[in-house]
A = this chain, B = another copy of it.
């Protein structure tokens, strides 16, 4: 049996890491014994908290993928967010909850996307439809990703299905959703030992929309002001990134997970796209976006519409 590489997106978040681990578990139970989870970058502090809590080892890092290697993508589909060499890999399956963009295959494949808040909500359905029981640790990883992606059900990306699946998984994992969830989210807001360069790449995604290269990074915090103390240094890091990667618009969304708002630092030659998109002026390179917590649902679509 050939090996199957399973991984989420670059700048991995809790959903990307845990979905890879959980899909490895599911694939093995379905008979794909050589399925193996990988990560495409350093894990963040929230994910570190989750893996420590459930005593699960973090996956190995994958730098490149060989031509024709079998892969399963979770929590992403865009080649721009995937591993080096993905264009020539043999994509067996995709399980994802994002828009489809920058993705194509030469042959038919298994592709399951649902417009829900978290990849793990979809994977839960695969366990059910295959009649496979979800073990305690696996349930813990899955529910952690749902909490992470939906900011404990506060994000507009959160659906009824995410909530009901999370409740069932929390029971199997024997955790208190509210208490565990807040502790986990707070672990992710500890930004103290990140350099500005690291900060803007913790969770950063690029989309090419009608020839405009848009980079949107996001950090979660319990206090926006804290992060803005280093606005100057962060801007310098963003400018360097823009120059090096030919970015036309770079937004860093600093998301207040307590009050569900974001402050965005906006740079780049096409920053008027952000002003048009949010019908707001950029002042001191910043915009306050009330109620905005979801890059996928509240940031990328409006930016793309204005390119």
CB within 8 Å of B: which residues of A?
97-116, 129, 157, 296-297, 300-301, 304-305
B115, A104: Cβ atoms closer than 8 Å: no
B101, A108: Cβ atoms closer than 8 Å: no
A304, B106: Cβ atoms closer than 8 Å: yes
Q: Which residues of B contact A304 (CB under 8 A)?
A: 106
Minimal Cβ-Cβ distance residue in B for A110 = B114
A109, B115: Cβ atoms closer than 8 Å: yes
B105, A99: Cβ atoms closer than 8 Å: yes
Which residue from B100, B111, B157 sits with its C-beta under 8 Å from A112? B111
A113-B110 CB under 8 A given contacts A100-B105, A101-B105, A104-B101: yes
B108, A104: Cβ atoms closer than 8 Å: no
Q: Which residues of B contact A103 (CB under 8 A)?
A: 100, 103-104
The 9 A-B pairs of least Cβ separation, nearest first, read: A111-B113, A108-B115, A101-B104, A99-B105, A106-B301, A100-B105, A110-B114, A106-B304, A99-B107
CB distance from A244 to the nearest CB of B (A): 26
